[in-house]
């Protein structure tokens, strides 16, 4: 018996598989991956998201066709975005600690490999003495050169691994800050708003009929779509509310500028990405600025770092 489960916190996973039972080939073909850290199969990018029902249905059908008995336990409720974000921050902090520890281990291994390579080189005859072919020291001399070469190669490899590990650790420390960058937050709100409007349009979207073309959705179709899309719409609204609160706090603290069409006028000078530009037109969501050439550039209001009036 195999059981496919989904929760918003854990994502989509499957219980009951064992090595060599034939499930691996089916799961791989339907988009699943094996998680070594959790010792289980999972659907990528399913954590902190509503269930991908098409993937679950396709997987269940494929497994049953292969002779397995499959049940599902799907929870379609979502956690509050604040809880989701707190979990992401905690996991990222754990990842930073793990990568920092790995970088430290690799650096220690690099130092040990270098010391070993240095010792192997010191055992070679001084002054680069050539190998005395036929002499009783020939074998010992060749072995010493080979050991020194191997030790130096391992030292170089260890140095490269330590550099990569440190770079990954350094990059991980900035992930959460980048996620909460004011411009990123503003762009995320716009994206989520567009996704919400798309979901809402799907409820009343017209249907295509082979004989009549596009026709309005019936009351029954609208009701069914509303019920099916309700969890997704609720999740999007909760996400928008969370990030709008983050944005408001950033504007209040001065981390974000909060300019919009009502505060930016033609002729103003604005600082965008470190460069001062003159405003040509204040659009609904973007500002058009001069470039010094015959054309203009546009930028979201969130990217305005500073504003100066013509006077």
Is 286:299 a contact under the CB 8 Å cutoff?
yes
pLDDT at 239: 97
Query: pLDDT tens for residues 74-129?
Result: 999 999 999 999 999 999 999 999 999 999 998 898 888 888 888 887 777 776 66
Q: What is the pTM of this model?
A: 0.80
Neighbours of 2 (CB within 10 A): 21
Residue 109: which of 42, 157, 147, 75 has the closest Cα? 157
Report d(CA 70, CA 86) in Å as an integer: 34
CB atoms inside a 10 Å sphere around CB 85: 18
Q: Is pLDDT at 137 greater than 70 in this prediction?
A: no
Question: Could you tell me what percent of the chain has a pLDDT over 90?
Answer: 75
Q: What does the pLDDT read at residue 194?
A: 96
pLDDT at 30: 94
Joined together, the tokens standing for residue 53 give 């029902």
pLDDT digits (tens, 9 = 90+) for 244-300: 999 999 999 999 999 999 999 999 999 999 999 999 999 999 999 999 899 999 999
Q: State yes or no: pLDDT of 141 exceeds 80.
A: no
Element (H, E) at 282: strand 275-282
Rounded Cα–Cα distance for residues 160 and 149 (Å): 17
Closest CA to 35 of 8, 57, 17: 17
Give me the chain's average pLDDT, please.
Answer: 91
Domain boundaries, the chain: 2-77, 83-178, 182-253, 268-308
């Amino acid at each position: 018996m195999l059981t496919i489960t989904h929760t918003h916190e854990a994502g989509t996973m499957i219980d009951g598989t064992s090595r060599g039972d034939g499930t691996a080939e089916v799961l791989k073909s339907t988009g699943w991956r094996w998680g070594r850290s959790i010792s289980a199969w999972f659907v990528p990018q399913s954590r902190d998201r509503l269930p991908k029902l098409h993937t679950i249905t396709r997987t269940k059908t494929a497994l049953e066709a292969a002779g397995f008995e499959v049940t599902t336990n799907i929870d379609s409720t979502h956690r509050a975005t604040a809880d989701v974000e707190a979990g992401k921050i905690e996991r990222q902090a754990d990842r930073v600690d793990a990568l920092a520890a790995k970088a430290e281990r690799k650096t220690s291994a690099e130092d040990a490999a270098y010391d070993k390579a240095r010792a192997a080189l010191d055992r070679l005859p001084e002054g680069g003495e050539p190998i005395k072919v036929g002499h009783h020291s020939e074998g010992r001399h060749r072995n010493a050169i080979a050991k020194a070469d191997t030790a130096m190669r391992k030292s170089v490899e260890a140095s490269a691994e330590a550099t990569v590990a440190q770079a990954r650790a350094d990059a991980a420390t900035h992930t959460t800050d980048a996620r909460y960058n004011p411009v990123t937050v503003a762009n995320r709100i716009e994206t989520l708003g567009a996704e919400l409007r798309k979901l809402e349009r799907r409820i009343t979207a017209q249907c295509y009929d082979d004989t009549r073309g596009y026709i309005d959705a019936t009351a029954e179709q609208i009701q069914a779509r509303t019920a099916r899309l309700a969890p997704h719409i609720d999740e999007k609204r909760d996400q928008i509310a969370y990030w709008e609160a983050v944005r408001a706090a950033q504007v209040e603290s001065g981390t974000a500028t909060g300019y919009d069409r009502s505060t930016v006028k033609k002729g103003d000078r604005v600082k965008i990405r470190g460069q001062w530009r003159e405003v040509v037109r204040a659009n609904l969501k973007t500002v058009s600025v001069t470039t010094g050439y015959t054309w203009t550039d546009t930028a979201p209001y969130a990217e305005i770092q500073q504003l100066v009036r013509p006077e």
